[in-house]
Structure 1
Amino acid sequence: MFYPGTSAELSQSVDALLGAVSTPRESVTPKALIVPHAGYIYSGPVAASAYATLRNAAGRIRRVVLLGPAHRVYVQGLVLPEADALETPLGNVRVDREALAAIPWVKRSAAAHLKEHSLEVQLPFLIRALGDFALVPLCVGDAAPEEVARTIEALWGGDETLVVVSSDLSHYLPYAVARALDGATAEAIVNLTEAPLQHEQACGATPVNGLLVVARKKGMRPEMLDLRSSGDTAGGRAEVVGYGAFAFYAAGSRETQRGGEEAHADAE
């Protein structure tokens, strides 16, 4: 429903989207991403701007903590799948069973994951960007930001772990109205707002709010990578869905990078 169903066509589609993104300004790999989850013809270019930041991370990032809203089944809190792997046309992605020991409070639900697209549509991008990795897939339902943050922090790890939050922005508003609302939402995200985002602003507001709690606590540096809507990509403008891509960098990452560049310049 959301992307090509054959391996060859899907690989070609994802690689083309990633190839269309210019080299990211940052050479530092982000610790966390917010990425949209619509059909690739609609949100694929925006999603690619986030995954392009992982160009140098293959082989280093070995675990992805993936959180997305539950669209089809009511979920209390956060839930894991009952499966040992998630199947895609590009191969299976194994669930990181060892990591699950760190979050014993999170229950499992096969029903919540069975038809949940917010997680599945991220997997082909992750596979093409990272190669082999283990996954902690979390459907997020009715949960407080602190509950989501607790789970993210428990799985935070080091450079081997990437956190991805799957969320679109506004839904089915006129183009100009959506553009204004999405702009305000993006500003709130990059400013690490303490006021929780509402679901009218982002369908994945709950996991986004949890990530923002962690980002504030850890002093992270957010950056907006792209902000568009279906009216900019492959749809009309009477009713659009908003898409944003954001990267979160560890505190001091830019300073560390700049310091290395200055030291290199001094050596020359």
Structure 2
Amino acid sequence: MNRKPVVAGRFYTDNPQQLKQELKQFIGPLNKKAAAPYDRLVMLPHAGYMFSGEPCGKTLAGANLAPTIILLGPNHTGLGSPLSVWDCGSWEFPGGKLDVDEDLAQQLIDSGTGFVENQAAHSREHSLEVIVPFLHYLNPEIRIVPVCVSESAPKVLHKAGEAIADIIDAYSKPVSIVVSSDMSHFIKADKAKKMDSMALEAIIRMDPADLYSIVSSNQISMCGVLPMTMGMYAAKKLGANAGRLIEYTNSGKVTGDFESVVAYAGVVIS
């Protein structure tokens, strides 16, 4: 079953030609990159392109993704299961599609760590959909495994993340992880930066347990903390020990309103 786009025309244009031009503007020239080593994990924002397109494109321009990607995103709708895998078909967007790596998806489901086949969680969720056109622009042959994450138990996130690492390590093709997350929501820009810097510092030094603790104890409204925690556990087991912040910005730089912003960050973990 193919997933049809649900936020085209709202979060990003539904005109294929215009979309391609915007992606070209956000990402810039496609420079040929080395085949390996690939980055283990990349964190990207997922708002409307007028807000998040630039940091998303800039981060991807500085990354080197494998041709197979496990996509981890938050669940904004409450639908589906805690670890919902879209396991078949393609994800469509105006002017193109990316195919699901069905074998890799099934390996996640068979791991016994909570991943289940569930399309309901993805049916109205925007956090992964908005990333798909960017990935297609980089490489139309990329294959994806979309996972919608609402599991909040730290031990389960840890176990599931390490299961991802084991599957990637044994897989026949190289795999990168892409996590979709925005940072602080609807607070003053200076407060958002102060709060988000604590979370980003934990990400950059690759401490998933501390990221979870910092976000929880300080009530930071980072919507993708759950998939990011899980993705970091996977990347850490695969040998990653540090990340780099590519971009940090907020919606006020577009709207001029710095009293209530949503903040966005792009991180690459090698």
Scaled by the length of structure 1, the TM-score of the pair is: 0.82
Structure 2 CA distance for aligned equivalents of residues 154 and 146 of structure 1? 12
Structure 1 CA distance for aligned equivalents of residues 220 and 32 of structure 2? 32
- Which has the larger displacement, 192-201 or 166-175? 192-201
Counterpart check, 1:200 vs 2:220? yes
- Which has the larger displacement, 145-154 or 187-196? 145-154
Structure 1 CA distance for aligned equivalents of residues 43 and 137 of structure 2? 18
Deviation at 1:17, TM superposition (A): 0.7
- Preserved contact between residue 98 and residue 140 of structure 2 (Cα < 8 Å): no
Residue identity matched to 2:178: V
Counterpart check, 1:126 vs 2:135? yes
Give the 3 Å change call, closer, same or farther, for CA 101–29 of structure 1 in structure 2. closer
Structure 1 unaligned spans of 5+:
250-268
Q: CA RMSD in A?
A: 2.6
- Which has the larger displacement, 128-137 or 163-172? 128-137
| 2:244 alignment counterpart | 223
- Preserved contact between residue 43 and residue 233 of structure 1 (Cα < 8 Å): no
For 1:95-106, list aligned pairs within 5 A.
Answer: 95-103=100-108, 104=110, 105=112, 106=115
Counterpart check, 1:51 vs 2:57? no
Aligned residue among 185, 203, 210 for 2:199: 185
Give the 3 Å change call, closer, same or farther, for CA 71–236 of structure 1 in structure 2. same
| 1:138 alignment counterpart | 147
Structure 2 unaligned spans of 5+:
1-9
| 1:33 alignment counterpart | 42
Deviation at 1:217, TM superposition (A): 3.2
Residue identity matched to 1:174: K
Deviations 1:71-119 (A, max 9, x none): 0124443111265111111312111111123122421222211111000
- Preserved contact between residue 186 and residue 261 of structure 2 (Cα < 8 Å): yes
SS in structure 1 opposite 2:168? coil
Structure 1 CA distance for aligned equivalents of residues 104 and 251 of structure 2? 36
For 1:1-268, list aligned pairs within 5 A.
Answer: 1-19=10-28, 29-54=38-63, 61-81=66-86, 83-103=88-108, 104=110, 105=112, 106-144=115-153, 145-157=157-169, 160-193=174-207, 194-195=209-210, 196=212, 197-198=215-216, 200-220=220-240, 221-249=242-270
Structure 2 CA distance for aligned equivalents of residues 146 and 206 of structure 1? 10
- Which has the larger displacement, 10-19 or 70-79? 70-79
- Preserved contact between residue 175 and residue 238 of structure 1 (Cα < 8 Å): yes
Deviation at 1:202, TM superposition (A): 1.2
Count of residues in correspondence between the two structures? 243
Larger Rg: 1
Scaled by the length of structure 2, the TM-score of the pair is: 0.81
- Preserved contact between residue 33 and residue 245 of structure 1 (Cα < 8 Å): yes
SS in structure 2 opposite 1:46? helix
Structure 1 CA distance for aligned equivalents of residues 160 and 256 of structure 2? 33
Deviations 1:172-219 (A, max 9, x none): 001111111112221121122332243624101001111222333344
Deviation >6 Å, runs of 4+:
20-24
Residue identity matched to 1:172: F
- Preserved contact between residue 4 and residue 10 of structure 1 (Cα < 8 Å): yes
Q: Percent identity?
A: 28
- Which has the larger displacement, 195-204 or 8-17? 195-204
